[in-house]
Amino acid sequence: MNSNKVLNTKALKNIFKIPDLRDRVLFTLMMLAVYRLGIFVTTPGVDRTIMEKIMATRADGTLLGLFNMFSGGALENLSIFALGIMPYISASIIMSLLAVVVPKIGELQKEGDQGQRKITQYTRYGTVALCLFQGVMMAKFLESLQGPAGELVVTSPGLFFRFLTVVTLTTGTLFLMWLGEQITDRGIGNGISLLIFASIVARFPAMFYQMGKFLNEQMIKPFHLVFFIVVMAVTFTVIVFVESSQRKIPIQYARRGGAGGRQVQNSHLPLRVNTAGVIPAIFASALLVFPATISSFFQFDMGLLQVWLSPGGWLYHLFFLGLIIFFAFFYTFVQFKTEDVAENINKQGGYIPGIRPGKDTVNYINLVLSRVTFGGSIYLAAVCILPDLLRTNMGLPFYMGGTSILIVVGVAMDTASQIESYLISNNYEGFSIGGKGSLIRSRRG
């Protein structure tokens, strides 16, 4: 990174000089405030204080702990947003996977805005279906919970409570989905991503307070804390570098020149190092903590499997590494269709120098993409495992996993990139001294 690419605080002031950008930023902040206020609106018929005690002792390393993190503490508060935005994300992922096996959905992806509207409509239907299913399971689960002294979380269990809980949680998730879409259309950045970002960042103050408390009570050594801060600073720097890195495949296009001649226009096909984003980490985490969730909350002994998959063990990290690599390759090749890319290049009169059009081009892109994805998957696994290793070996109260760190940095980069585009298009300085270059390069390629 060049020395002139440092954060320019003047750019932050310029945000409020552009009326449209200022209104979008303020609207985004207002919608995020509404979301955070809703976290503390409790679902009817439950005792939140008892649930907080249960989550404090039994949620670590379980699927519910993962959901609680992504919902910004809404689950432990038994909020109307307890399901969070995850049903919508799950429905979106399912639609992406169905596009591979269902030709009709795959064709909709190629129909432009009209096809995208249909896919969005199907995704919303899928979100409602998932919310209804998860709401019923959540209601039954809450009825079975008891606090440390045997007190019930649900004050009046029964059919009416289940119906009310399903309606409340489904409505809460649909409101979050609408809130995210409003931020995307009228605010700045991707609304759904920003909701998850706000959920994770909201837990920072409690985490830092706990670290200070541990340090003050000499439960952790100052050297460990300093070492941790240095490692995390390096980790954030590596994430920014890798997430903005690309492997560019050179492409040449033949164009007609003057007097009937032909000219060659040079271009490139950008391949992101981490094409799959955080999806592999989310899939791997959910799959690995599922046995622990079953064992902890339903008192079901899974024997040796539970021991192998206990968070923090070397075998757990080995499985985690393998699953991340597998899902990184799987999701990358689901999202990035090399046959379609090669066909579009050929239709536009382009070719890769030294590679024949058609099958050879597809094979070459697959080869390059496989190599890039392998490096990206190793980087993804290292970032996800490192915080757990530090927390386990040093005893630090660091509740952010690698998945959370990737989301926070990635969303911050994308949002900063959009803000900088507004600034530059209005002849203002971006996030770099003198407007020379860009501190944040968009991860969209």
235 within 8 A of 405, measured Cβ to Cβ? yes
pLDDT band at 303 (very low <50, low <70, confident <90, very high): low
For residue 194, give the 3-state DSSP assignment. helix
Distance CA 284, CA 302 (A): 19
**CA 341, chain centre distance (Å):** 25
Q: Is the pLDDT of residue 7 over 50?
A: no
Distance CA 391, CA 228 (A): 9
172 within 8 A of 83, measured Cβ to Cβ? yes
Q: Is the pLDDT of residue 436 over 50?
A: no
Q: What is the mean pLDDT of residues 204-216?
A: 78
Q: What is the mean pLDDT of residues 65-77?
A: 71
pLDDT at 183: 93
Distance CA 177, CA 195 (A): 10
pLDDT at 171: 94
- Between the alpha carbon of residue 159 and those of residues 141, 143, 145, 164, the distances in Å are 13, 11, 16, 9
pLDDT band at 260 (very low <50, low <70, confident <90, very high): low
Q: Is the pLDDT of residue 78 over 80?
A: yes
pLDDT digits (tens, 9 = 90+) for 160-202: 999 999 999 999 999 999 999 999 999 988 888 898 888 888 8
Choice among 16-30, 132-146, 227-241, 283-297 with the minimum mean pLDDT = 283-297
- Dmax over CA atoms of the chain, in Å, equals 90
Distance CA 373, CA 375 (A): 5
- Sheet containing 262-272: give its strands across: 262-272, 246-256, 350-351
154 compared with 228, residue with greater pLDDT:
154
Choice among 99-113, 246-260, 293-307, 394-408 with the minimum mean pLDDT = 293-307
CA proximity to 309, closest of 333, 297, 292, 285:
292
Q: Is this structure's pTM higher than 0.85?
A: no
Dihedrals φ, ψ of 272, to 5°?
-70, 145
246 compared with 292, residue with greater pLDDT:
246
The token duo for 63 is 């699927």
Distance CA 440, CA 4 (A): 13
Mean predicted lDDT score pLDDT of the chain: 79
CATH numbers and ranges of domains, the chain: 19-202 (1.10.3370.10)
pLDDT band at 31 (very low <50, low <70, confident <90, very high): very high
Element (DSSP H or E) covering residue 271: strand 262-272
pLDDT at 126: 92
381 within 8 A of 321, measured Cβ to Cβ? yes
246 within 8 A of 444, measured Cβ to Cβ? no
For residue 251, give the 3-state DSSP assignment. strand
pLDDT digits (tens, 9 = 90+) for 120-155: 899 999 999 999 988 888 888 888 877 777 778 888
